[in-house]
Amino acid sequence: MKKFVFRASNLLPLISSFAVLLAIGWGIFGWHYGFHPPIGTYVAILGALAAAVTFWPTRKRWVKTCWVMVFFLLTFFEIRNLLWDRSEHEKEFQSMVAKMSDTLGQLTGGDTYCYFMVAPNLGSGNPVTYPLSVWVRGKYPMRSASSQIQTLLNRNQVQMISLPLGDGTLLPGVRSIGYSIGLGRHSISTWSVSGGPINEIIDLSIDSHGALDQEIEVWGDGKQLFKEGNKDLGFAKLGK
């Protein structure tokens, strides 16, 4: 009867098959549950297995095929891990940039701008005047805002007044400022922490039906920000 002699090489086919199944099972587990080990983990395992195969060689082709499959799977897992890590870093960077942009917007107002309009149905007095409201458009408040209005009284006289804007903080939305203007053409310039000026022309007149006709143009940074009405009030050249 031939005596059985145990050799470590006898376990190699079993270990090879188990390694392939383990690698496939690990891949399914990581893909399903989104598990990602530290970068370099698969490279370290790949190096250890390559060293083991080098010192524990086999002549069976199917065993060699199993190890090649394991090496390819580990390489694939490492590449996938690297892509996931890069994606996470990009998300963190984008989140940081968004937070910085939001903080800067809160401090400076970002691209928020404002303009002024009158309430046409609240005219009173003789001569009639209309209460002025400030409209703030944008995500962030305007800081340290100040506005000056110029009104042409006659051909040779212009009245210039600073509008009452409180502490200069203008929150998005609409609010009355406690100042009224009459019929005619008015020019308003506004400055804030984010820069300026924001230039506006308001032209108030009474139409043929006795109703208030309000024409508005607002310009800033060389472009038109807002327009109400169909008249060209003279700011078109600023946008060119």
Over residues 145-178, the pLDDT tens digits come to 999 998 876 666 567 889 999 888 889 999 999 8
CA-CA distance, 198 to 191, in Å (whole number)?
7
Q: Torsion over CA of 84, 89, 92 and 93, rounded to 10 degrees?
A: -140
With cut-offs at 50, 70 and 90, classify the pLDDT of residue 236: very low
Query: Which of 117, 176, 165 is closest to 141 using CA atoms?
Result: 165
pLDDT tens digits along 211-233 = 888 999 999 888 899 888 756 55
- Per mean pLDDT, which range of 36-45, 123-132, 185-194, 203-212 is the poorest? 36-45
pLDDT(71) > 60? yes
Q: Is the pTM of this model over 0.85?
A: no
